Amino acid sequence: MALLHQMQAQYPFGHGELNEMSNARLSRKVQTGSIKMSNGVELPLFGLGTWLADSPEELELALKVALDAGYRYFDTAVQYNNEHIIGKVLEKYFQSGSLKRSDVFITSKLPFYGHRPEDAERHIERSLKRLRVDYIDLYLLHGPYPCKVDGKGDLLQDEDGKPIPDLIPHIDTWRAIGVSNFNQEQIHDLYNQAEIPPHNLQSKDEAELKGALEAAIDAGYRYIDTATLYQNEHIIGEFLEEKFNSGKLKRSDIFITSKLSLLDHSPEKTDKNIQESLKKLRIDYIDLYLIHGPWPFKNFAFGPGQQSEVDLVPHIDTWRVLEKYYKLGKLKSIGLSNFNQQQIQAVYDQAEIKPQNLQSKDEAELKGALEAAIDAGYRYIDTATLYQNEHIIGEFLEEKFNSGKLKRSDIFITSKLSILDHSPEKADKNIQESLKKLRTDYIDLYLIHGPCPFKNFAFGPGQQSEVDLVPHIDTWRVLEKYYKLGKLKSIGLSNFNQQQIQAVYDQAEIKPQNLQVDFFS
């Protein structure tokens, strides 16, 4: 069901609903904008990715529903092994007159074992044949790591079973117009040598992110969460600089969190990473800076047969660099993300400046992690109905309140409405249950966890999820009710896109006060 999960943001449904929805021809169509690439071609901002779609039956059905729902952008690749299925479905639509070729935007990609010029030409011709089209709208080099193949096209491997790199200059492969998963330096080298420069980098959607930021800021959002890993700090920085320069925002109006890459835990790399984050974000300081996780790597491999190499850097060595920039005023608060109890305690015991925030979802060790976090000075706790741990947090906090070690006003709690509880009746019950489980009279920030409501959500083989077509504003009215009652001090949205935010904002009596989203694609 991997492909179907990708469609949930706009049309969440189970396998059974797909037939019913497709046969009924959805009356609700996807509304999507586009962005103009450097060659003038309009690239749709919303489409269907087909990675991990390994079932022909499922993919055909998903494509049919997507097309009937108004999807016009389809992303595939040689390595996805599904171009022939997409071609078969599209051909039926073209022949029936339901669609013209010009109505559909198709992206495909050259595999890492096809970088030699003669191989690249062969793969492009085969993709055209499998897709049953005369042209492909956007064709990308799928990655910057070419590997050698034998005369039959099979991967050559060394004695350890690893693919053998093929040292082909990227410019020699450059026959198509786009790159995917290339880093900045690789793009720059290619761009400088290309007769026709890349028209598209497939990775981080700059237009969509800037649009989402615009809508969020206009709606009153003032907290932005990013990370080196998300590769979008530069976009956020450009956007915020424009706002600051225009006088529409002051730096002090915005709270920015960023995080250290798992590839940069060595002190030298950590130092460089922090400086680069400040430079990309175009700011003098970061409000909260976290070590993104406790697993440092020297390199992180994605290609088949490749191996990641662990970097055995003590956490405290990395922490010392954060302390340095904290003292310089460049990092206003510093903390840990996704560390377990023992890892938190180890840093805490050796730290000169104790961690000031813990961002964690480790349910198994939650009580221990909470204990270490509170002792370390953490005062912000993020949970959700979905996490199924509100009762643990509630028990823990009640003990602290009763002991006099904490007051309720010392703690800021965020929780979120389940995707199963968007109907007004269920939303009402969910909020009451969250308050009861958390053993609190109010929740500081309460969010609708996502824009895709379900009546039931199935994980088991052959089981079906059932979508619940509840208007977002109907759910929002319940949050407004509890806001007025003082039970929810602030209310907001999580993982909503620009259009969805705007739709709620336009109809809301009490405007969303926070958008929680990791801006990466």
Instruction: Measure Cα distances from 460 to 1, 107, 454, 457, 464 in Å.
Output: 10, 32, 16, 10, 8
Written as six digits, the tokens of 269 are 């790399």
Strand partners, 419: none
pLDDT of 98 > 50? The answer is yes
pLDDT for res 345: 78
What is the arithmetic mean of pLDDT over 40-60? 75
Written as six digits, the tokens of 230 are 């998300």
Rounded Cα distance between 399 and 140, Å, is: 56
CB 274, CB 330: distance < 8 Å: yes
Q: Is 446 exposed, middle or buried (0-12, 13-18, 19+ CB in 10 A)?
A: buried
Rounded Cα distance between 296 and 265, Å, is: 6
pLDDT of 370 > 70? The answer is yes
State percent of the chain over pLDDT 70: 73
Rounded Cα distance between 71 and 86, Å, is: 13
Rounded Cα distance between 85 and 95, Å, is: 16
What is this structure's pTM?
0.41
Instruction: Measure Cα distances from 20 to 16, 209, 263, 445 in Å.
Output: 7, 34, 47, 38
The number of angstroms, rounded, from the C-alpha of 382 to the middle of its chain's C-alpha atoms is 18
Q: Is 110 helix (H, G, I), strand (E, B) or coil?
A: strand
Number of other residues whose CB lies within 10 A of the CB of residue 31? 9
Rounded Cα distance between 379 and 412, Å, is: 6
pLDDT tens-digit map of 62-90: 888 888 877 888 989 888 889 999 999 99
pLDDT for res 219: 65
The number of angstroms, rounded, from the C-alpha of 254 to the middle of its chain's C-alpha atoms is 21
Q: Is 413 helix (H, G, I), strand (E, B) or coil?
A: strand
pLDDT for res 185: 54
Number of other residues whose CB lies within 10 A of the CB of residue 362? 16
pLDDT tens-digit map of 408-431: 999 999 999 988 899 999 999 999
CB 261, CB 229: distance < 8 Å: yes
Rounded Cα distance between 112 and 105, Å, is: 23
Written as six digits, the tokens of 500 are 């969805």
Amino acid at 21: M
pLDDT for res 338: 66
pLDDT confidence tier of residue 343, bands split at 50, 70 and 90 = confident
pLDDT tens-digit map of 476-516: 999 999 999 999 999 988 767 667 787 888 899 998 876 44
CB within 8 Å of 111: residues ≥ 6 apart: 77, 78, 79, 123, 142
* DSSP code per residue over 433-477: HHHHHHT-S-BSEEEE--S--EEE---STT---EE----HHHHHH
Instruction: Measure Cα distances from 428 to 45, 139, 145, 455, 494 in Å.
Output: 35, 48, 52, 15, 18
Residues designated catalytic? 230
Question: Looking at 136-145, 304-313, 432-441, 442-451, which range is the least confident one?
Answer: 304-313
Rounded Cα distance between 269 and 292, Å, is: 14
pLDDT tens-digit map of 144-177: 777 887 776 677 887 777 778 877 776 666 643 4
User: What average pLDDT does the structure give for the chain?
Assistant: 77
